[in-house]
Amino acid sequence: MLLHGGGRCCSHEDEKTRWLAGVDLGAARSVSRVVLRLPAGWGARTQTLSLQAGADGSTLTTVKAAAAYAFDPAADNTVTLTLPATVQRWFRLTVTANSGWPAGQLSEFEVRSS
């Protein structure tokens, strides 16, 4: 099952740590991975990302600790975050660094079940 929260999104250049994108699945669901994309024509870059999740939009816990992920046009500018089995409703992505721009960047945020 594909659960998608889309829309091109960038944080403001003056903000170094940025809550970039969030997805509300409408109900708690089993999730095993999150797929992130940048536009195919963009150059390579590395972004430091972390992922939080929770049953409601205000109480979130980290399900993927901050780490650097490479977005590479040769790999369709796609990054997949594999998660331990979790049942959650809300997901939020935070970007703390980006080698290609002074702010976080994302064009697609897909939350997927097994």
Q: Average pLDDT of 48-56? A: 93
Distance CA 59, CA 61 (A): 7
Q: For the segment 58-74, what is each residue's pLDDT rounded down to a tens digit?
A: 899 999 999 999 999 99
> Hey, what are 99's tokens?
């080698």
pLDDT at 85 (0 to 100):
83
Instruction: Examine the pLDDT at 17 and tell me if it is beyond 70.
Output: no
pTM, whole model, 2 decimals? 0.83
Is 104 within 8 Å of 98 (Cβ atoms)? Answer: yes
Q: What percent of the chain has pLDDT over 90?
A: 60
Secondary structure letter of residue 44 according to DSSP: P
